[in-house]
Amino acid sequence: MNLIILGPQGSGKGTQAKLLADKYNLNHISTGELIRQEVASNSPFGRVLQEKINTGELISDSELFSVLEKTPLNQKNGFILDGTPRNLFQAQELEKVFKRVGVKLDKVVLLTLSHEESLNRMRKRAEIEHRTDDNDEAMQKRLELYQNETVPVIDFYRQQGKVIEVNGTPDIDTVFRDIVSKLEDVKYVS
């Protein structure tokens, strides 16, 4: 099973992706984590990425694919891709990558969350994790970019009949049960 998980910042994509990866033995590919690892390496490329993160600017498509190409997608048990695609170009490029490596995207899990709840969760995460990329200006900018850039991606996958929509507001366990139930309803898991 090959999945993508989408939703606004703070919707719990990373948490749910980890839970799904554990339950179904999927390779969890978090582009955010891959980018943070590159930043932590303090390479010249990592320093460029750090500057963008600090200002709330999204990583460019070519930069993202430079990081993503280091991770094989054709895993035996499948994958869950977390954090990509963020725009229509990335979605179209991913389709080409999937075709090239011989994988088929089964479903896109969409976690929905209100703008205000998204901001509240990012603020809490900033306090707990001390992440430099979670300041108010950067958070607002990322939510605007999500609306302008990622919502068309959701429509792209909806037209393919691949979107499973789940309310991301309840507690972690409730959201997880809802996702699993919907995946099992469409018979993508046994």
Feature table: binding site for AMP: 31, 36, 57-59, 90, 131, 142
- Position 153: which residue type? V
Q: State the maximum Cα–Cα separation within the chain, in Å, rounded to a whole number.
A: 47
**Which residues does residue 3 pair with via DSSP β-bridges, in sequence order?**
80, 107
For residues 150 and 48, the answer to whether their CB atoms sit within 8 Å is: no
Task: Find the radius of gyration of the CA atoms of the chain.
Answer: 16
- Numbered residues of the known binding site: 10-15, 31, 36, 57-59, 90, 125, 131, 142, 170
- Numbered residues of the known binding site for ATP: 10-15, 125, 170
114-125-43 Cα angle (round to 5) = 115
Query: Distance from CA of residue 117 to its chain's centroid?
Result: 18
